[in-house]
Structure 1
Amino acid sequence: MANSNRKPILLDFEKPLVELESRIDQIRQLANENGVDVSEEIRQLEARANQLRQEIFSSLSPLQRLQLARHPRRPSTLDYIQAMTDEWMELHGDRRGYDDPALVGGVARLGGQPVIILGHQKGRDTKDNVARNFGMAAPGGYRKAMRLMEHANRFSMPILTFIDTPGAWAGVDAEKLGQGEAIAYNLREMFNLDVPIICTVIGEGGSGGALGIGVGEKLLMLEHSVYTVATPEACAAILWKDAGQAPQAAQALKITSKDLKQLGIIDEVVPEPDGGAHSNPLKAAELLKNVLLKSLAELLALTSQQRREMRYQKFRNIGVFAEVKV
């Protein structure tokens, strides 16, 4: 997991809470040094901190949730794998000469069940992010993902995908190597796999880069993650020629887990610890693991034909609406 000893990175809306918690720590330290009993005052301040935390994180705007989804300390795919699984073994390469570090995958056990896990991988700092291409997978990454999913299908292992990318790599070389074809191939083939597929948006789910590993019977979202056809900044630049209109775009795009659950795009919202997943990564992993195990049990009870039909109908129903005349 992320190193908890690093200096915290604060978002603007987190600062009042962190200042209050720092004040509580200072009072507690001074009381201990001087042998003064301030337990009642501490209790009142901690109650206020809890109340403030709930007020802040229950009323976040879509753009603030996007900031949380992009938080540098937010747990990544490899963080969740490390915290949730046993006997993890990463597998490399697309068998066509390329191993994309922006998309990782391998074999593991989750609650004793052998599974294939794959997902986008962002970096922790600038150097790591450059090496991981900021979680934007190249065509070789999606071909590696498909190779692992075919392996899972051959050996009857469920597939878990973790989505966390601003989008697929849009460079010239990516287009030369067939980025669109690689993603389209994954979309088609994932509908035909016999094994259970559970997809989870753990951070930023952007555009076709997210969809390339996002076809499954169940689509989960962490509470403060986002899932969108385009980033609010890109949408604002396209519609208004002004990236400064991103807050308005974020509101209109319905990118939050709550909105997408209401629209029927996702199946379940996975709660995060108070303060977001980055505030307590181990707790976040525990909450996600519980939901994954429950969902796996439900899907393993179905036949492969039922799972394929469930997958198909899920995506056929997206975007269906009825007009009501009044």
Structure 2
Amino acid sequence: MKRSFGERLFDGSNVVLMLLLSAVTLYPFLYVLIASISDPAWVVKMRGLIWYPHGFSLDSYKLVFDNPAILTGYGNTLLYVVAGTALNILMTSLGAYALSRQSVKWKNPVMFMIVFTMFFNGGLIPTYLLINNLGMLDSRWALIIPSAMSAYNLIIMRTAFQSVPISLEESAKLDGANDFTVLFRIILPLSMPVVAVMILFYGVSHWNSWFNALIYLRTRELYPLQLILREILITNSTDSMMTGVGGADKMPIGETIKYAAIIVATVPILLLYPFLQKYFVKGVMIGAVKG
């Protein structure tokens, strides 16, 4: 079909707009990457936009990886991401399955109470007192148990489970299957796109989480990577990484250490996205809330 001038203009405008949005989104990351591998003295003097590296130095990355706090934070964060995401998927799947079955009584009042928590909650102080009374203060459980399930993600997964034909469940139960068999061998395998999206949502949330660790943790050996990164960026605590650096070079290398730490903390979660991208749009659409 021959397209009109207005249609071509509209498509061209969309392309230009998306390219501009992509550039605005990508440039901050590119800026940090270029600054992290550039000459530290030049980075300190530079003002404005950066388009290419000036000089080349990986000293900042070496100092970052030589810092034991970074490696400990990495290990802690990986533990929180893996354990937390596994618990999130389990709890969300169990809740979504129960609330998506037609035979479950009182599911609408229960759903109302879950949605109610999205708008109203007890606040920080009651939550802190609860964590303390449960004996989870200054422990890894404080970063895993309280965030075991998201009401928003539960709604998405519940809607996805409702789209699975009820005849499959009925056939399985006629063959002697129980609810756990139906969930783990029928519902979840048929809902892998939305499960992949849940893994991405929960995983990114755990990876970027720092506030709960700041509130509930006191032992530095339990700190996640993002809390270590916060100390480096906000409190300027880079001196421990520069024990072998001369006095005149400490300020320039201290600035590039911040950029290198951002890259080190960001790249791993970026590498996860391409593996889940093919499920992302499909999973969100399957679990979309329908009126």
TM-score calculated relative to the size of structure 1: 0.24
Does 1 or 2 have the higher relative contact order (CA < 8 Å, sep 6+)?
2
Q: Which has the higher helix share?
A: 2
